[in-house]
Structure 1
């Protein structure tokens, strides 16, 4: 076994030990080395149906030893099974356009929201870009995005993979820049990635008139209960989702915004008193950001056709 193959195998084993399922990419490339659906032989691991790279990614050391026994495969990390959300910050030079880099546009997003992005596991790419690894909050399923956060920022989550450190391209290697454990994706980024463009009123979720009061009462109670029961480490994510959900009701005219903000603030009071980094200022910011976002995508109630 040559030195390059040995080094790539050791990287694959190290990443698997982090709990991140890996799979081989073509040597010197970023594409999976596994066969696609169209060329599936229907044998081996695919005997009961095609298994793609996400299904075949593994943390099993024996399988990794076997896969990287003789060939210098690059390494892919299946983001979804790894519970990772990776921010892929490209450079403008990579796209051939004179524009801010992904690092610059991310910094602008942080400034606009008055927040700092926490340091986390980080990898640099051969093209001068950066991969910043975060863990997904419990109960949140995020998908891949391309430019929806800002120019030159993509994300890799469920359904996506990231080229791992140690991998080699003709232009250079993917190098580990910061080896601290990935931190949880900040709530404001979760919220931004969950937001969808506003749809036409007819396509929005509708609340029948006869269920309006009971629906609103139950929705309000459920969201406030979730906030009150939020465990340490999940405060921001749960509060952000609750504020967004109640913001949808505010936008529909079903509840009062000020009342929703007061109820959420009261329910979140334990967060500022707990042994974590939550502050009253941050709680207020998360509540109002979530209410604003939800208000722009309201739930609507069908008008009653009953005669007065």
Structure 2
């Protein structure tokens, strides 16, 4: 006969098989147990998981940083105005895109956790309300309560088992535009945060690409990549942020009779960024420091 402990063990093993690092939470709670360094001790080892959950019906935490996840936490709104889901949809609509389907968990309060994989080369940290009201994110240094877990108000349940997609470029850019603390100084590039000047440039170039006229796609994409590459060379922007923003914007080019392909788009962006980095934009540092 199955027990709650067996149920939680099965969920923990399933999540670990996905490569997500799990650790025990206090039974019936969202709080970590009294253990030190829970982020470092989170594991994907089946044997350790079995031994741990054999000791009790612990709820499950997923350490988002080691799992290379960015989870967008959409809260409900008990007052007037849109809730977290509505706020995120509005943010996407302002950029002419939609929120993609991805692995989704519902919370006992009626909220949702959207799971995205973290972009390569970018270190993200937790944010609270930086994207919009009732919209938080969990990344490095954070954790989320996993499906299968139970609290007095109900359970965390898997609502969409679509494989997690990579954090969209427009969402990464939105975090940069809010000048949040999401990008850590531990980034693989020397850029700790993207300045307002650079974020504005990224948004402008992305919009140029998104609205490029037929027959002008290659030229405009190449020029946009070169311009952002100059900011990368000046130390004002990291390559991953620029590449993801341009790649996301370029999805609009692959319509109709256009012969743009993902491989060609990637090649043009890579070449443009490389060329721009060799000729850093002069005077940008001084202007931004004023």
TM-score range, shorter chain: 0.5 to 0.7
Q: Structure 1 residues 106, 81: closer, same or farther in 2, change over 3 A?
A: same
Q: Over residues 173-213 of structure 1, what are the superposed CA-to-partner deviations in whole Å (9 max), with x where a residue is unaligned?
A: 00001112100000111122234549xxxxxxxxxxxxxxx
Work out whether residues 248 and 299 of structure 1, in 8 Å CA contact, stay in contact via their aligned partners in 2.
no
TM-score (norm 1): 0.62
Work out whether residues 20 and 78 of structure 1, in 8 Å CA contact, stay in contact via their aligned partners in 2.
yes
Which of these residues, 262, 265, 281, is aligned with residue 276 of structure 1? 262
Structure 1 unaligned runs (5+)?
37-51, 199-235, 252-263, 288-297, 304-308
Question: Helix, strand or coil: the match of 2:130?
Answer: coil
Work out whether residues 80 and 160 of structure 1, in 8 Å CA contact, stay in contact via their aligned partners in 2.
yes
Length, aligned pairs only? 215
Work out whether residues 21 and 42 of structure 2, in 8 Å CA contact, stay in contact via their aligned partners in 1.
yes
Q: Over residues 80-129 of structure 1, what are the superposed CA-to-partner deviations in whole Å (9 max), with x where a residue is unaligned?
A: 10000000000012xxx433200000011011111011100000000000
Which residue does the alignment assign to 1:125? 107
Q: How many angstroms apart in 2 are the aligned matches of 1:246 and 1:126?
A: 44
Work out whether residues 131 and 178 of structure 2, in 8 Å CA contact, stay in contact via their aligned partners in 1.
no
Q: How many angstroms apart in 2 are the aligned matches of 1:302 and 1:116?
A: 32
Which residue does the alignment assign to 1:32? 32
Q: Does 1:179 align with 2:161?
A: yes
Work out whether residues 147 and 153 of structure 1, in 8 Å CA contact, stay in contact via their aligned partners in 2.
yes
Work out whether residues 79 and 161 of structure 1, in 8 Å CA contact, stay in contact via their aligned partners in 2.
yes
Which residue does the alignment assign to 2:286? 300
Q: Structure 1 residues 183, 109: closer, same or farther in 2, change over 3 A?
A: same
Shift of 1:241: 12
Q: Does 1:91 align with 2:97?
A: no
Which residue does the alignment assign to 2:9? 9
Question: Helix, strand or coil: the match of 2:132?
Answer: coil
Q: How many angstroms apart in 1 are the aligned matches of 2:152 and 2:94?
A: 38
Q: How many angstroms apart in 1 are the aligned matches of 2:226 and 2:288?
A: 25
Structure 2 unaligned runs (5+)?
181-220, 237-245, 274-283
Which residue does the alignment assign to 1:138? 120
Which residue does the alignment assign to 2:20? 20
Q: Which segments of structure 1 move beyond 2 Å, counting only runs of 4 or more?
A: 194-198, 239-249, 271-279
What is the correspondence of 1:1-308 to structure 2 with a 5 Å cutoff? Answer: 3-36=3-36, 52-93=37-78, 97-195=79-177, 197=179, 243=228, 246=231, 275-276=261-262, 299-300=285-286
Which residue does the alignment assign to 1:206? none
Q: Structure 1 residues 139, 241: closer, same or farther in 2, change over 3 A?
A: farther
Q: How many angstroms apart in 1 are the aligned matches of 2:226 and 2:167?
A: 14
